Amino acid sequence: MNISMQDIKFYDCRVMEGSSTSVVLDNGKIEEISRNFTKGAGIRALCGGSWGYTAVEGDINLKRGVEAASKLAFSMNANTHKEEVELAAVVSPEVKDLPEVRIDPRDIAIEEKVSLLKSIEKHAKLEGVQSTKVMYFESEFKVEYRNSEGLECDYELLNVGFSVSAVASENGVYQAGRESHFGYGYELFEKENVFELAEKAGKNALELLKAKTPKGGEMPVVLDQELAGVFAHEAVGHASEADLVLEGDSILENRIGEQIASPLITIIDDPTLHEFGYYPFDAEGSQSKRTEIIRDGVFNSYLHSRETAAKLGGSPGNCRAQSYSIPVVRMSNTFIDNGDSRFEEMLEEVQNGMYLIGSRGGQVNTGEGIFQFNAEKGYLIKNGELADLVRDVSLSGKTLEILNHVTLVANDLKMTAGRCGKAGQLVPVSDGSPHIAISKALVGGA
Amino acid sequence: MYELARKALKMAEQAGAEEAEIYYAANHSTGVNFKKDSLENARDYFSEGIGIRAIVNGAVGFASTNSVAELENTVKIAVAEARVRENDPDWVGLPSNGKYPQVSGIFDKKVEAIELEECIGYAVELVEGTKEVPGTFPTSGGFNRSKGKRLILNTNGIETEEESTAVSAFVFVITANGDTSTAYDFAVSRSLDIDFFAIGKNASDLALKSREGIKIKPQKTDVIFHPFAFSDILEEALAPSLDADNVQKGRSGLIGKLEEEIADPELCIYDDGLVEAGIETSSSDDEGVPSQHSTVVENGVLKSYLYDSYTAGKAGVKSTGNGSRSSYNSPPSVGLRNFIIDYPQEDLIASTSSGVFVNTIIGAHTANSISGDFSVEARNAFTIKDGALEKPVKSLMISGNAFELLKNITGAGFDVRKVGGIITPSIRVSGMSVIG
């Protein structure tokens, strides 16, 4: 095959190097201490309408990497007919306002970390709790980006986090409570009352043992910050990812400027916030920036890579990758913005329905606009007051219907860290919301 | 890096490890992906790395790297970590029996030799298949092939090296006009025996048939789960309770249930690392324990949990060869091998007078992995009336419990499918609670 670099319109390289540490404490015992050192690169080349991508772990020769990716792009392009890919212009990003790290976790001895984890675990081990698990992780990595347009930039980031879970059982019924938190420096463990979180996990597991499984059906609901955040991320955020829109796999296709939600709803994606989805520039060197996906109920913007921004009109900044994988359009920190209601008003408004709390995850079909989430627990709402605790409850429905059925939005926004999976890649994100009240939703139970 | 594996083992011993293990894995995969009906990109991934377990005074340290320059440091860190930990009285030792069974069908020279042009051809076949059905188009999909090499060495004399190949194809489709409906199909195999055109066509057929779904009344009814749907439930709601680690830590719904009837008496479940051409087939597990055929459930009775060498040592039994790693950078833990569901087969839909057929589900990962409770959204579901599929159902929530489900199985189809490592036919379960 004869390929000249003239055929290659664009190429870029992301070189990454970093290390991570994890410690797992299980029922009072260290179950795992592991360290990983990693190094590698992901290289893209564009020829006409086709991308070639080469990822290499370990020590790499960038020149050869670019050649390999170029070859892939060239033969793809020679074998298929496709319109040329255009890329929205970007300028050199400013790397600023990185999260401050006061205490570098690498300066803390592993013994000290282990003893902290043991104290955290003790607090989760309330009477009646059978087993507990605490996980700690820290990671530091450096990303260097450069492309054929002359852009060169880099940053280093450090993450620290932990999770605690407790399991309680009674008469063959098992219930778990989980809490987690993360930050950018080891001061996380000073700032947050981690022992309180651990106790909360234990308490939750114990309470859930006593909870009932409710009858499902259509009813008015109140969602807590975490579950409403999952809704914002899963149901709305994914459908606003421009690559899915271009695939014809989003109900939000051709909806910009339309009123698609209650005017109370504003949904934002903001990678500049120092939450778990933070980044100073994305995997294409685009400056990170705040995007209003929905403003006062009106669909305002998709989330873009350089390619989708050029195609649909918009600005890039949401193209991300897990380590050496190919970058795709992703969310960062996604949330429903604060309204001005209070939680008590919501109970009053709902009168009889359900208050759903927390999330055990969920899934969404962006093409049909259907979603399903499982709450951690809930309370029946009877005559405007919280009543019985319930478990094994889920929420499902049509994204656009739910958005339109929002009747109240509180002013108590809270973010939760997590990892989002798409195209086989996990990236750190956070999502959040204030409490929201919805006039009608399908709740699944026994 | 491969050449350094033996050296790394020596380094670990020199650094003070009483026992040590080197896990080396390399993989090269090539994929061609499409968006709508046009090919978008070709990808080549090369990965290679080493994971080291070092044991000092009955405590294990683990470290890994993909960088030759970091290898020596990584080995030392694994040993240093082991020193931080207290003696673990449950630690028995790294595996030592290195007599391996013969396995076949996991390496295909043709897959290794595929050129990019051929990969493009298979991706095009997937797209062409979808075009066979007017009124639908693909949203995304692709073809992928990979070749892997694994080497496991330990200071107890384990030395096992294996090469394997895999190909996979997947396609997502959506209907073009009118009522929107989506569907997907996929296949994973060790060799090129996949009918790519048929995968595209199946997905499109299913999306088209799923349009204009009706609502159904909340009820308890017979539900037939397609292998895609059933394997999701098995993996998320049942498998965690078979993991000996969860059993030992009080996190399994099957604690104390050995030799008890936990399922319909006609149900058998096997975990088997030796299946011809299986996706989870290998002469050994990921810590060098010879693969085996294990009976998990025999005629409804729970016969065994699944063990890696650590949990087996702790329980005083033999490892079942279920030591599993997702990558060189993680230490082993218990994982399924080929997981086989065996139940008397029949023409399943024809023998069902009324109920629901469910092709796929979303939300299985939200199941309570201890209690087995799940609540999932069924996709591409159809009502069954008088032994035939009747009408598509738009939205359907299915709630249940994995352990109850095992007891209420009343039939299996002839349509056995390898869904990754899970090998199962369609399964009918009576009395499932559905909300439409």
B85–A72: do the CB atoms touch at under 8 Å? no
Cβ–Cβ < 8 Å for A44, A326: yes
**Res A205: pLDDT:** 95
Strand (E) or helix (H) holding B79: helix B71-84
Higher-pLDDT residue of B178 and B313 is B313
Tell me the CA distances in angstroms from B167 to B28, B39, B192, one per residue in order. 12, 18, 7
Task: Kindly give the pairing relationship between strand A50-57 and strand B38-56.
Answer: parallel
Q: How many of the other CB atoms lie within 10 Å of CB of B2?
A: 12
A251–B180: do the CB atoms touch at under 8 Å? yes
Correct CATH for B2-207 of 3.65.10.10, 3.40.50.300, 2.60.40.10, 3.30.2290.10: 3.30.2290.10
B residues 217..236 contacting A (CB < 8 A) = 218
Mean pLDDT of A5-31: 92
Closest Cβ–Cβ partner in B62, B68, B139 for A32: B62
Q: Which one-letter amino acid corresponds to residue B171?
A: V
End-to-end CA distance of chain B: 55
Region class of A50: left (phi > 0), else alpha (psi between -120 and 50), else beta: beta
Determine the residue among B4, B43, B184 to mutate to test chain A binding: the one whose Cβ has the most chain A Cβ atoms within 10 Å: B43
Closest Cβ–Cβ partner in B74, B218, B251 for A167: B251
CA-to-CA distance for B359 and B348, rounded, in angstroms? 14
Query: Does the CB of B366 have a partner CB in chain A at under 8 Å?
Result: yes
**Res A292: pLDDT:** 98
The model's confidence at residue A3, banded by pLDDT at 50, 70 and 90, is low
Cβ–Cβ < 8 Å for A34, B62: yes
What chain B residue is nearest to A52 in terms of C-alpha separation?
B42
Per-domain residue ranges for chain B?
Answer: 2-207, 213-436
**Res A363: pLDDT:** 77
**Res B353: pLDDT:** 96
Percent of chain B with pLDDT over 90: 90
**Res A173: pLDDT:** 81
B65–A26: do the CB atoms touch at under 8 Å? no
CA-to-CA distance for A175 and A206, rounded, in angstroms? 7
| pLDDT at residue A1 greater than cutoff 60 | no
Higher-pLDDT residue of A316 and B368 is A316
Residue that has been written with the tokens 């002469």 in this structure: B283
B42–A368: do the CB atoms touch at under 8 Å? no
Contacts of B397 in chain A (CB under 8 A): 216, 372, 394, 396, 442, 444
What is the four-CA torsion angle of B73, B74, B80, B81, rounded to 10 degrees? 150
A158: distance to nearest CA of chain B, Å? 19
For residue A252, list its beta bridge partners. none
The model's confidence at residue A2, banded by pLDDT at 50, 70 and 90, is low
Query: Does the CB of B177 have a partner CB in chain A at under 8 Å?
Result: no
**Res A165: pLDDT:** 95
Q: Look at the alpha carbons of A46, A52, A53, A59 in this order and tell me if their dihedral is positive or negative.
A: negative
Phi, psi (rounded to 5 degrees) for A374:
-105, 125
Residue that has been written with the tokens 């938190």 in this structure: A181
Cβ–Cβ < 8 Å for A279, A293: no
Task: Kindly give the pairing relationship between strand B219-225 and strand B354-362.
Answer: parallel
**Res A307: pLDDT:** 97
Give pLDDT tens digits for B38-72.
Answer: 899 999 999 999 999 999 999 999 999 999 999 99
Give pLDDT tens digits for B79-105.
Answer: 999 998 888 999 999 999 779 999 999
B46–A57: do the CB atoms touch at under 8 Å? yes
CA-to-CA distance for B423 and B269, rounded, in angstroms? 10
Tokens of B210: 């799923």
B395 contact partners, CB below 8 Å, separation of at least 6? A370, A396, A397, A398, A442, B213, B215, B377, B436
Among candidates B424, B427, B351, B354, which has minimal Cα distance to B384?
A: B354
Mean pLDDT of A284-301: 98
A11 contact partners, CB below 8 Å, separation of at least 6? A43, A44, A45, A46, A66, A69, A70, A147, A148
Mean pLDDT of B397-411: 96
B residues 47..86 contacting A (CB < 8 A) = 47-49, 59-70, 73-74, 77-78, 81, 84-86
Q: Which one-letter amino acid corresponds to residue B108?
A: D
Mean pLDDT of A22-44: 93
A residues 178..207 contacting B (CB < 8 A) = none
Give pLDDT tens digits for B183-226.
Answer: 999 999 999 999 999 999 999 999 999 999 999 999 999 999 99
Query: Does the CB of A40 have a partner CB in chain B at under 8 Å?
Result: yes
Determine the residue among B23, B32, B46, B83 to mutate to test chain A binding: the one whose Cβ has the most chain A Cβ atoms within 10 Å: B46
Query: Does the CB of B418 have a partner CB in chain A at under 8 Å?
Result: no
ipTM rounded to 2 decimals:
0.86
Phi, psi (rounded to 5 degrees) for A408:
-145, 145
A39–B66: do the CB atoms touch at under 8 Å? yes
Q: Which 3 state secondary structure label does DSSP give B244?
A: helix
For residue B427, list its beta bridge partners. B225, B412
A30–B85: do the CB atoms touch at under 8 Å? yes
The model's confidence at residue B164, banded by pLDDT at 50, 70 and 90, is very high
B residues 287..316 contacting A (CB < 8 A) = none
The model's confidence at residue B290, banded by pLDDT at 50, 70 and 90, is very high
Query: Does the CB of B373 have a partner CB in chain A at under 8 Å?
Result: yes
**Res A79: pLDDT:** 81
For residue B360, list its beta bridge partners. B379
What chain B residue is nearest to A25 in terms of C-alpha separation?
B85
Higher-pLDDT residue of B84 and B342 is B342
Polymer length of chain B: 436
Mean pLDDT of B223-243: 97
The model's confidence at residue A63, banded by pLDDT at 50, 70 and 90, is very high
pTM value is: 0.90
Higher-pLDDT residue of B36 and A330 is A330
B residues 96..125 contacting A (CB < 8 A) = 116-117, 120, 124
A142: distance to nearest CA of chain B, Å? 15
Tokens of A32: 């795992």
B371–A174: do the CB atoms touch at under 8 Å? yes
Percent of chain B with pLDDT over 70: 100
| pLDDT at residue A4 greater than cutoff 80 | no
Give pLDDT tens digits for A327-342.
Answer: 999 999 999 999 999 9
